[in-house]
Amino acid sequence: MSILVDKNTRLLVQGITGNEGDFHTRQMVAYGTKVVAGVTPGKGGEWVLDGKIPVFDSIRLAVNARGANVSVIFVPARFAADAMFESADAGIPLIVCITEGIPVQDMMRVRNYLDQKGARLVGPNCPGLLTPGEAKVGIIPGDIAIPGNVGVVSRSGTLTYEVLYALKQENMGVSTCVGIGGDPINGTNFVDCLEMFEEDPNTDQVVLIGEIGGSEEEKAAEFIADCMTKPIVGFIAGQTAPPGKRMGHAGAIIEGGSGLAADKIRALEMADVQVAQHPEEIPGMLK
């Protein structure tokens, strides 16, 4: 059912006792996600959320005691790499890192290590995952999407919400929404998600939301042309972005003439992807 997270997800929250961790865990629990444990080193033994969720000092202890199979990370940037290494070493197969501002060399080390361990990372600098009606892993507001058959994969946060909201207004539902985040080096990219959506019986078509910087949209276009049968609609932000400037997201930068929105749009259109001129057009372009 859908991809990556569903009603069988047993979620562990790293950084559960911090402001962000606490606030968003409450939202995730209210949505119906099974949050089984939290990890904050030094606060093991405490219970949070009115005594409902146990906190452990380490991931290993939390996994052994509570069978967590997904971790979501709300830990400050300077500690985030360590949090990801710890989860991977404890055998967590899916790690979702919300944190923004992680040094890029940390992310190179993390990604290369996690590839060797066989752990999947989503993020960092992302809003996380939402499988409507089943699981919310991260900060995507639960009330802006309804269950359905459109898969969504996006580098953005609030721009993604804009699209989910537009779909909901037209009574169109989402199978899973994956926020892959705005960093230049991340755990999961467009092609990874497109592959999963193509295999997912619950997904009939896909919305891809990209932006300036890097070449992942171009790689997606190649994959779509070679391997996908399901229809895709896209939108690329940053057609008016000036070159050489980082537009908020660490990965949103046009460097040395590459990473331009126009090039991404062209590549996607050549792969028969319909590209919207603005996000509110997207529902009308889907079947």
Partner 1 sequence: MKLHEYQSKHFFARYGIPIPKGRVAANAVEAKHIAQELGGRVVIKAQVLVGGRGKAGGIRLAKSPEEAEELAGQILSMKIKGLPVRKVLIDEAASIDKEIYLGITNDRSARKPVMMASSAGGVEIEEVARDTPEKIVKVYIDPLLGLRDYQARDIAAGIDLPRDHWRIFGQIANGLWQAYRESDATLAEINPLIITSKDQLIAVDGKMVLDDNALYRHPDLAEMRDLDVEDPSEIEARKYGLVFIKLDGNIGCMVNGAGLAMTTMDIIKLFGGSPANFLDIGGGASAEKVTAALRIILTDPNVKTVLFNIFGGITRGDEVARGILVAMNELKKEIPMVIRLVGTNAEEGRQILSDADMITAETLADAAKKAVAVAKGDYKQ
* Residues designated as active site: 249
Amino acid at 269: E
Which stretches within the chain are classed as H helix? 19-31, 59-66, 77-89, 104-117, 158-169, 190-199, 216-227, 261-270, 282-285
Residue 220 to residues 52, 98, 189, 192, 267: CA-CA distances in angstroms?
A: 42, 23, 9, 9, 9
Closest CA to 200 of 131, 282, 138, 136: 131
| Contact letters for partner 1, residues 130-149 (x by CB under 8 A) | ---------xxx--x-----
Q: Tell me the closest approach of the beta carbon of residue 76 to partner 1, in angstroms.
A: 10
Q: Which is nearer to partner 1, 54 or 238 (CB)?
A: 238
109: contact with partner 1 by CB under 8 A: yes
Q: 197 and 129 in contact (C-beta within 8 Å)?
A: no
CA distances from residue 212 to 187, 244, 254, 261 in whole angstroms, order as listed? 18, 11, 6, 5
Q: How far apart are CA 64 and CA 136, in angstroms?
A: 23
128 is a site residue for partner 1 (CB under 8 A): no
Binder of partner 1 out of 30, 65, 108, 270 (CB under 8 A): 108
Per CB under 8 A, does 30 bind partner 1?
no
Out of 8, 262, 278, 284, the residue judged to bind partner 1 by CB under 8 A:
278
Instruction: Supply the minimum distance, in Å, between the C-beta of residue 126 and partner 1.
Output: 11
62, 207, 247, 273: which one contacts partner 1 (CB under 8 A)?
Answer: 247
Strand order in 70-73's β-sheet?
47-48, 53-56, 34-39, 10-14, 70-73, 94-97, 120-122
* 33 touches partner 1 (CB under 8 A): no
Query: Binding of partner 1 at residue 200 (CB under 8 A)?
Result: no
In whole angstroms, how close is the CB of 103 to partner 1 at the nearest point?
4
Q: Does residue number 63 form part of the binding site for partner 1 (CB under 8 A)?
A: no
Choose, by CB under 8 A, the member of 201, 229, 277, 287 that binds partner 1. 277
CA atoms of 112 and 91, how far apart (whole Å): 16
Q: Which of 91, 103, 243, 284 binds partner 1 (CB under 8 A)?
A: 103
SS3 letters across 176-245: EEEECCCCCCCCCCHHHHHHHHHHCCCCCEEEEEEECCCCHHHHHHHHHHHHCCCCEEEEEECCCCCCCC
Among 31-39, 64-72, 221-229, 231-239, the segment contacting partner 1 (CB under 8 A):
231-239
Q: Quick one: which segment of 9-17, 48-56, 191-199, 212-220 binds partner 1 (CB under 8 A)?
A: 212-220
Binding site for partner 1 (CB under 8 A): 23, 77-78, 101-106, 108-109, 111-113, 127, 139-141, 144, 154-162, 165, 182, 184-185, 209, 211-212, 214-215, 235, 237-242, 245-252, 256, 261, 277-280
